[in-house]
Amino acid sequence: MQALTQIDTLWLLFCSSLLLLMQTGFVCLESGLIRSKNNINVVMKNLLDLCVAFLGYGFVGFSIMFLIGADSIFAIHPLVSEQPVFVFVVFVFQAMFCATTATIVSGAVAERMSFGGYAFITAIVATCIYPIVGSWVWGGVLGHPSSLNWLANIGFYDFAGSTVVHSVGGWVALAAILFIGPRLGRYDNDGQDIHPSSITFACLGSLLIWIGWIGFNGGSLLRFDDTVSKVITNTIMAGVSGLSAGLIYSYVKYGKPLVLPMVNGGLVGLISVTGSADLMLPYQAILFGLVGGLIPMPVYDWLNKHKIDDAIGAVPVHLAGGIYATFATAFVLTKTNDKSLIENLLIQGLGVIVVGIFVFGTTYLLLWLCSHFIHFRVNPEHELIGLNQSEHDLVGTNADMLTQLTNMIKQGGSTQKISVDKYSDSYQVAQQYNKIVDMFARQARKNEHDLEKALHFASHDDLSGLHNRFAFNQALNKESENLQRYGGTYCVAILDIDFFKKINDTYGHDVGDEAIQHVAQLLKKNVRTTDTLARIGGEEFAIIFPHIDLVVAFELLNKLKNIIQNTPLKASNNTNIPITLSGGITLMQQNEDPNQALKRADNGLYQAKNNGRNRIEICEESEESIA
């Protein structure tokens, strides 16, 4: 077991703090690359990573990774017994490594994996997968002999986790996204790229991860000595080389500098030296980073071509980058061991294969076995509204507006307004929407009013305000149908103003119009509410009397005639003008065209005119008259 000076301890604890900052970077990176309706879910999953890493890994995983082979696990476990400083430092440092491994999975499965399902994956990473792979490579760090440390014993080398952290996280992520499938709409006929909510936030996260990587690689020496400066230099130079390679790739393929190729290229540049940053010189780190920076985007495109949905590119960056870094380590191992380049490549390749089979196979098998009682994917409705709301009951103002709009659609209310917090980011959007609602409401009221006017004009006479010929014919046909269906008695009458031409010629057309309006108002005032009164042309009026026999209808019509006769027109020229009416009335017959009844009523009117006017005549099929 390694003895630590105070500066060693301080350095390792500082590096552990930088790893915690790296977690913050992953939160920003992941939440920036996904849609805002799922960003709180990403934060919750990263908080969960810390919980499971320090508790699950602390009580179970740490023992598997370092203490198998010891005389008494509990006697030397840092959580249950007093231990040397080195053991506590290694525990904190490795717990942060474990949390980072789980966080890689978080981004890949974002926007569709349930929180409970993710908790299960994090648990198996912390208590099983990461500790076992870690024991194969780093199991002898605490000095306890263990046969599980077999990869390191045959010469496999991983300085700071290109395989143990990044490849392991990438393999778990690949198994998970293959098992749960792509996000809704990602690869259907109308599928398209899902746009990030904040590239700026993602770039900030990338820079925070860079800062954390100094602790990632610098702390992996487990001491503070002269090598630290070289490791940090190699880390930064590889990162900026990866950034440069991503920029070049972006220009060559897309013709412009795009953000994601640079961000991902920089991250793979950092991973490129994670397996061997202590063994190389800066120029080698630059070469490693340049090659690594070209890897993620082609892998990302290949995944999309095969409809494998990685929400943030975790597999192209961490899995592909980790595998590349593991093989690249062989090129700098030859000067530190007695093996040839081919031997080192074979050993490193064996590690890649064994770790890949174990991690991917174990993850996929456990997901399949546990899918019978754990729902790893949220239902489509929850995925659409976002995991912030469906998993954590956190409704942002945008989601609140969407919910209100959805309810409006269900209720069929297009004039309802949106209500949001006056001080929220969405208030101005809601305010403008409400103005549009008001505008449409005003237009709808105007359209409704215009429609009512149009319908009124279409069915009413403009001068008299009574129904017109069109509306009267519709009413006549309807009453005829009622007669055919239900029986009963219906009468129809036609009235005409006597000597109307003389009124026009004597007093002018304006007074003639007044005469029509005068008669119309008197008729309208004195007919029954069930009767249909219309002006059917010129000085002619027609009335339908439903549910009344011919004799009673005849009496009512005579009463109307007498009212007109006894109420002279007081014209606008201060002249009292007597007005009389002539009319014909008939009984509608079943199984006849209603126009035939109207024709008989017109014949009755003709008889009244011939018989001296100012009278009502009944016209029956026998054409008998009643005076």
Helices 282-292 and 227-254: angle between axes, nearest 10 degrees: 30
CATH 1.10.3430.10 maps onto the chain at 6-182+194-382
CA angle (418, 421, 425) in 5-degree steps: 95
Distances (CA, A) of 511 to 503, 562, 576: 7, 21, 11
Q: Which residue intervals of 85-188 are DSSP H helices?
A: 85-108, 115-124, 130-138, 150-153, 168-180
Element (H, E) at 217: helix 199-218
pLDDT at position 190, please?
60
581 forms bridges with which residues in the sheet? 497
Q: Which of 30, 111, 383, 539 is catalytic?
A: 539
Paired tokens of 594: 């209603």
Q: Give the CATH fold of the 469-618 domain.
A: Alpha-Beta Plaits (3.30.70)
pLDDT at position 441, please?
81
- Taking 70 as the pLDDT cut, the residues of the chain under it are 1-2, 69-77, 144-147, 189-192, 395-404, 412-415, 420-427, 621-627
Element (H, E) at 41: helix 39-52
Classify the C-alpha dihedral 198-203-204-208 as positive or negative: positive
β-pairing, 576-577 with 581-587?
unpaired
Distances (CA, A) of 60 to 19, 131, 210: 21, 9, 30
> The whole model's pTM is what?
0.70
Q: Give the CATH fold of the 6-182+194-382 domain.
A: Ammonium transporter fold (1.10.3430)
β-pairing, 540-546 with 490-497?
antiparallel
SS (H, E, C) 462-480: CCCCCECHHHHHHHHHHHH
**Integer Cα distance of 171 and 179 in angstroms:** 12
pLDDT at position 66, please?
86
Rounded to an integer, what is the distance from CA 429 to the centroid of its chain?
17
pLDDT at position 626, please?
40
pLDDT at position 56, please?
94
617 forms bridges with which residues in the sheet? 584
Give 199-255 pLDDT, tens digit per residue: 999 999 999 999 999 999 999 999 999 999 999 999 999 999 999 999 999 999 999
CB atoms inside a 10 Å sphere around CB 550 = 18
Paired tokens of 302: 């290949």
pLDDT at position 168, please?
98
Paired tokens of 298: 């082609």
Residue located via tokens 């403009």 = 462
**Integer Cα distance of 16 and 79 in angstroms:** 17
Residues 6+ apart with CB under 8 A from 286: 237, 238, 241
Q: 319-339: buried (b, 16+ CB within 10 Å) or exposed (e) per residue?
A: bbbbbbbbbbbbbbbeeeeee
**Integer Cα distance of 495 and 609 in angstroms:** 11
539 is catalytic: yes
